[in-house]
A and B are shown apart, each in its own frame.
Chain A
Amino acid sequence: MSTAWTLPNGCGELSDLVRTYDWGGTPLGPIADWPQSLNFAVSTLLLSPVPIVLLWGEDGIMIYNDAYSGFAGGRHPQLLGSKVREGWPEVAEFNDHVMRVGLAGGTLSYRDQELTLNRYGGPEQVWMNLDYSPVFDESGRPAGVIAIVVESTERVLAERRLRESEALFRTLAQGIPQLVWRAGIDGACIWSSPQWLAYTGQSDGASLGWGWLEVVHPDDIAAAQIAWHDASVSGHLSYEHRLCNAAEGRYRWFQTRATPVRDGRGRIVEWLGTSTDIDDLHQFQERQQVMVSELQHRTRNLLGVVRAIAKQTMAVTGPGERFKEQFNDRLSALSRVQGLLSRSDQEPITLRALIETELAALDAPALRDRIRLDGPVVRLRKATVQTFALALHELATNALKYGALTTPQGRLSVTWRTCASEEGRRLLVEWVEEGLVRERQIQQPVTRGGYGRELIERALPYALKARTRYELSDTALHCAINIPLPEGEATGSTA
């Protein structure tokens, strides 16, 4: 029977090796004496392109094909004809189990079985799909085990890298404050991050396709469509739009940017995008624009005021030292009120602050105990502050140079209160100087009063709709200012 069988010829390296191997030195004995069952199994595996090894007999003598020799690496060709326990000592226990089960007639099957092999001089982690089934001899008893060994290491590692990369992407996409999404080449959403769902209140799935447009401000949809159209040409997507925030129930401004994902031929297959909340920035920019515009307005107006004051001062003093002195004083007063105005957003301007600023500028601290200020907290409208400050400046300067502050017995009292009248709320200010010296007034008949009186009697009524009274007697100055206050303006207790 043995002579009838021949191994396949010219089928590869292993076919020749098996034929020429000295099997006489193994438990299998010379090839010519092999039983039909063994011959059949060996010729079948030698012809297979799939890596197969036959483990024959109690010791599992190894016979394998070309494909398996590739898997065996540096272990080939010593592996041929060796006992499996000795051929793969690093997985001896695993193979002992295989032999026990196989020779008992059982089968084993492993998917992506992880083993550590020593194929190239060092340990290496490998994954394999392993299928074991028994081979029966002529008497019907299991005489060996046939193993199909397909290494899956590359696929396992690739899948692991992919999972890691996906996890990384998800961590990034779900961890950053931006709303992250993926879209098809036309802008139809194929995935949106949890942030998108949380921000817009859309259910998972509602944002997909063109659902995301439902939370874009209606006025910005056209811009979005244009941006997507342009992106298909330029390969870059960037535009600003409003998105409705579910929590606040209002639209906020977003900057949306996306990068195309391309295939091997450079064609765009999808877009990976982020939408960043820039609403605070937008509001800040708008406020800044208003502030710059207001500042420019105030500056230009101020130049007009300075020119007018120069001209009006010159008309009284003529050129010379008196002009320089008075004009400088008035410029300083204007400068002080600009300082108050520039801080007025943080620190509303009160009547008391305005009066104290002017009195402090007189630079006469010794006079403080002869001055009385009394009144509640009254905030002044910004538009009225400049004219009011200039009038107070003239009153204060006159008091110091010609009025109550020139004599030891002189007293200045500034008191104010608010009241409701048929015309609405009003502010009543009384500027009273007592203990004046008549001689001084006679010496300065024109100057006492002068510009200050003009501002009280004409500028305040003109610019502030004030009603005023300016009464100068031999010993006292009584100046009353009655100004409308805007409705609902906050006033506090005495301060």
Chain B
Amino acid sequence: MTAPAPALTGKRVLLVEDDYFIAVDLKTWFEEGGAQVLGPVPSVDEALALIAGTAVIDAAVLDINLQDELVYPVADALQARGVPFLFATGYDPASVPSPHGAVALCQKPIDPQVVARTLFG
């Protein structure tokens, strides 16, 4: 038995994911769990703008590779605000340069329950 996912109700979760289909999937799942989704947004610029314009963010899920750019500036901004987040990536963890070494890394396709437990468990 896997432990039930912690309640997402009322959590404000930022989603940064460049693939439309995966972004919609994640959004649907978080909303079904009762969370309020910020985004999803597909690029660093849009993510930074959203962070700057949002007072409360409880957590974030960041795809590392956004088409031709890396998501790390977004991670820095979240870290500066003390917002917990995790990375989702299709790359092998060993090949991901991580200036945010301690941050959890989920392999795609990500399991929403694992994401919820990692962020709020």
Contact = CB atoms under 8 A, between A and B. Distances in A.
A285 interface: no
Contacts of B23: 462
Given A383-B67, A383-B68, A463-B42, A299 B90 contact: yes
Interface string A434-456: 00000000000000000000010
A33 B23 CA distance: 129
Contacts of A459: 20-21
B109 A462 contact: no
Contacts, number: 68
A390 B89 CA distance: 22
B49 interface: no
Contact residues on A (Cβ < 8 Å of other chain), bracket: 20 to 34
Interface in B6-27: 18-25
B91 interface: yes
A307 B25 contact: yes
A78 to B, nearest CB: 89
B54 interface: no
Interface in B93-107: 95, 107
Interface string A318-353: 000000000000000000000000000000000000
Given A304-B109, A462-B20, A311 B90 contact: no
B110 A304 contact: yes
Contacts of B89: 297, 300
B25 A312 contact: yes
Interface string A278-320: 0000000000000001001111110111011101100000000
Contacts of A305: 19, 21-22
Contacts of A384: 67
A308 B24 contact: yes
B28 interface: yes
Contacts of A301: 19, 22, 90, 108
Interface in B33-50: 40, 42
Contacts of A257: none
B90 to A, nearest CB: 3
8 contacts: A296-B91, A303-B109, A312-B25, A381-B67, A383-B18, A390-B21, A459-B20, A462-B20
Smallest CB-CB A-B distances: 4 pairs: A300-B90, A308-B25, A304-B109, A297-B90
